[in-house]
Amino acid sequence: MGRILADIRLRLATLADAADIADMSRSLIETGLGWSWTRQRVGHAICNPETLVLTAVYDRDIVGFGIMDFGDETAHLSLFAVRESFQRQGLGIRMFDWLRASALTAGIALIRLELRASNEGARAFYRTLGFIDSGRAVGYYRGRESAMRMALDLRKAARE
Protein backbone atom coordinates (compact mmCIF):
# COMPACT_ATOMS: atom_id res chain seq x y z
CA MET A 1 0.00 0.00 0.00
CA GLY A 2 2.64 2.55 1.09
CA ARG A 3 4.89 1.77 -1.86
CA ILE A 4 2.12 2.31 -4.40
CA LEU A 5 1.02 5.57 -2.76
CA ALA A 6 4.62 6.78 -2.73
CA ASP A 7 4.86 6.04 -6.47
CA ILE A 8 1.80 8.16 -7.30
CA ARG A 9 2.69 11.58 -8.65
CA LEU A 10 0.34 14.56 -8.35
CA ARG A 11 0.45 17.04 -11.22
CA LEU A 12 -1.69 19.54 -13.08
CA ALA A 13 -3.69 18.06 -15.94
CA THR A 14 -2.80 18.73 -19.56
CA LEU A 15 -5.13 18.66 -22.54
CA ALA A 16 -3.82 15.17 -23.31
CA ASP A 17 -5.45 14.04 -20.03
CA ALA A 18 -8.94 15.31 -20.87
CA ALA A 19 -10.27 12.07 -22.39
CA ASP A 20 -9.06 9.93 -19.46
CA ILE A 21 -10.54 12.32 -16.91
CA ALA A 22 -13.85 12.43 -18.80
CA ASP A 23 -13.96 8.63 -18.95
CA MET A 24 -13.30 8.40 -15.21
CA SER A 25 -16.03 10.93 -14.52
CA ARG A 26 -18.44 8.95 -16.66
CA SER A 27 -17.70 5.63 -14.91
CA LEU A 28 -17.06 6.78 -11.34
CA ILE A 29 -19.25 9.85 -10.86
CA GLU A 30 -21.87 10.26 -13.58
CA THR A 31 -23.06 6.65 -13.78
CA GLY A 32 -26.76 6.59 -14.59
CA LEU A 33 -27.02 10.34 -15.03
CA GLY A 34 -25.92 10.86 -18.60
CA TRP A 35 -22.56 12.31 -19.45
CA SER A 36 -21.97 16.02 -18.90
CA TRP A 37 -18.21 16.09 -18.21
CA THR A 38 -17.15 15.21 -21.74
CA ARG A 39 -13.59 15.47 -23.08
CA GLN A 40 -14.43 18.94 -24.42
CA ARG A 41 -15.80 20.18 -21.10
CA VAL A 42 -12.82 18.79 -19.19
CA GLY A 43 -10.49 20.38 -21.78
CA HIS A 44 -12.21 23.73 -21.22
CA ALA A 45 -11.65 23.35 -17.46
CA ILE A 46 -7.97 22.52 -18.01
CA CYS A 47 -7.52 25.68 -20.10
CA ASN A 48 -9.50 27.94 -17.75
CA PRO A 49 -7.14 30.02 -15.59
CA GLU A 50 -9.79 30.13 -12.82
CA THR A 51 -9.93 26.33 -12.61
CA LEU A 52 -7.41 23.87 -11.23
CA VAL A 53 -7.43 20.33 -12.61
CA LEU A 54 -5.27 17.99 -10.56
CA THR A 55 -4.33 14.46 -11.57
CA ALA A 56 -2.85 11.57 -9.63
CA VAL A 57 -0.69 9.42 -11.90
CA TYR A 58 0.55 5.90 -11.20
CA ASP A 59 2.99 4.59 -13.79
CA ARG A 60 1.40 6.30 -16.83
CA ASP A 61 -2.24 5.98 -15.78
CA ILE A 62 -4.44 8.62 -14.20
CA VAL A 63 -5.82 7.02 -11.05
CA GLY A 64 -7.43 10.10 -9.54
CA PHE A 65 -8.38 13.65 -10.34
CA GLY A 66 -10.01 16.75 -8.94
CA ILE A 67 -11.49 19.78 -10.66
CA MET A 68 -11.86 22.93 -8.56
CA ASP A 69 -13.14 26.32 -9.74
CA PHE A 70 -11.83 29.40 -7.94
CA GLY A 71 -13.81 32.56 -7.26
CA ASP A 72 -12.80 35.56 -5.17
CA GLU A 73 -13.23 33.89 -1.76
CA THR A 74 -15.07 30.67 -2.58
CA ALA A 75 -13.95 27.60 -4.50
CA HIS A 76 -16.22 24.91 -5.90
CA LEU A 77 -15.00 21.32 -6.02
CA SER A 78 -16.80 20.28 -9.20
CA LEU A 79 -15.43 16.74 -9.53
CA PHE A 80 -13.25 14.52 -7.41
CA ALA A 81 -12.58 10.82 -7.98
CA VAL A 82 -10.12 8.05 -7.24
CA ARG A 83 -10.17 4.74 -9.10
CA GLU A 84 -11.67 2.03 -6.91
CA SER A 85 -8.46 -0.03 -6.76
CA PHE A 86 -6.65 3.02 -5.28
CA GLN A 87 -9.33 4.05 -2.78
CA ARG A 88 -8.91 3.79 1.00
CA GLN A 89 -5.14 4.11 0.77
CA GLY A 90 -4.81 7.82 1.57
CA LEU A 91 -4.68 9.05 -2.02
CA GLY A 92 -7.93 11.03 -1.79
CA ILE A 93 -6.69 12.79 1.33
CA ARG A 94 -3.34 13.52 -0.30
CA MET A 95 -5.07 14.94 -3.39
CA PHE A 96 -7.46 17.05 -1.34
CA ASP A 97 -4.61 18.39 0.80
CA TRP A 98 -2.97 19.61 -2.43
CA LEU A 99 -6.22 21.29 -3.54
CA ARG A 100 -6.78 22.81 -0.08
CA ALA A 101 -3.23 24.23 -0.03
CA SER A 102 -3.85 25.78 -3.45
CA ALA A 103 -7.11 27.30 -2.22
CA LEU A 104 -5.43 28.76 0.86
CA THR A 105 -2.66 30.22 -1.30
CA ALA A 106 -5.32 31.83 -3.50
CA GLY A 107 -7.02 33.42 -0.47
CA ILE A 108 -10.08 31.16 -0.61
CA ALA A 109 -12.20 31.14 2.56
CA LEU A 110 -14.76 28.46 1.67
CA ILE A 111 -14.82 25.32 -0.48
CA ARG A 112 -18.25 24.07 -1.58
CA LEU A 113 -19.30 20.86 -3.29
CA GLU A 114 -22.31 18.74 -4.18
CA LEU A 115 -22.53 14.98 -4.15
CA ARG A 116 -25.25 12.43 -4.73
CA ALA A 117 -27.48 12.30 -1.67
CA SER A 118 -27.27 8.50 -1.83
CA ASN A 119 -23.45 8.43 -1.76
CA GLU A 120 -22.84 7.86 1.94
CA GLY A 121 -19.24 6.75 1.36
CA ALA A 122 -18.29 10.04 -0.30
CA ARG A 123 -20.19 12.01 2.32
CA ALA A 124 -18.26 10.26 5.10
CA PHE A 125 -14.98 10.91 3.25
CA TYR A 126 -15.71 14.63 2.96
CA ARG A 127 -16.66 14.77 6.64
CA THR A 128 -13.22 13.37 7.52
CA LEU A 129 -11.76 16.31 5.59
CA GLY A 130 -13.78 18.75 7.71
CA PHE A 131 -16.74 19.41 5.41
CA ILE A 132 -20.15 19.90 6.97
CA ASP A 133 -23.58 19.45 5.42
CA SER A 134 -24.91 22.78 4.17
CA GLY A 135 -28.13 21.81 2.40
CA ARG A 136 -29.91 19.58 -0.01
CA ALA A 137 -30.82 20.22 -3.66
CA VAL A 138 -33.79 18.17 -4.83
CA GLY A 139 -33.41 16.91 -8.40
CA TYR A 140 -29.98 18.52 -8.74
CA TYR A 141 -28.68 15.83 -11.07
CA ARG A 142 -30.77 16.24 -14.22
CA GLY A 143 -33.95 15.92 -12.19
CA ARG A 144 -33.07 12.28 -11.47
CA GLU A 145 -31.31 12.47 -8.15
CA SER A 146 -30.95 14.89 -5.27
CA ALA A 147 -27.65 16.27 -4.06
CA MET A 148 -26.21 17.00 -0.66
CA ARG A 149 -24.36 20.27 -0.45
CA MET A 150 -21.30 20.41 1.76
CA ALA A 151 -18.90 23.20 2.70
CA LEU A 152 -15.51 23.58 4.30
CA ASP A 153 -14.69 26.86 6.01
CA LEU A 154 -10.93 27.12 5.53
CA ARG A 155 -10.55 30.02 7.95
CA LYS A 156 -12.36 28.16 10.72
CA ALA A 157 -10.30 25.03 10.04
CA ALA A 158 -7.09 27.09 10.27
CA ARG A 159 -8.13 28.44 13.70
CA GLU A 160 -8.80 24.96 15.12
Assess whether pLDDT exceeds 90 at residue 2.
no
Range 2-159 classified under CATH 3.40.630.30: yes
Task: Give pLDDT tens digits for 79-116.
Answer: 999 998 898 889 999 999 999 999 999 999 999 999 98
Query: Does pLDDT of 160 surpass 60?
Result: no
Model confidence over 33-83: pLDDT tens digits?
777 899 999 999 999 999 999 999 998 999 999 999 999 999 999 999 999
Residue pair 133/148 in contact (Cβ under 8 Å)? The answer is yes
Show me where the domains of the chain are located: 2-159
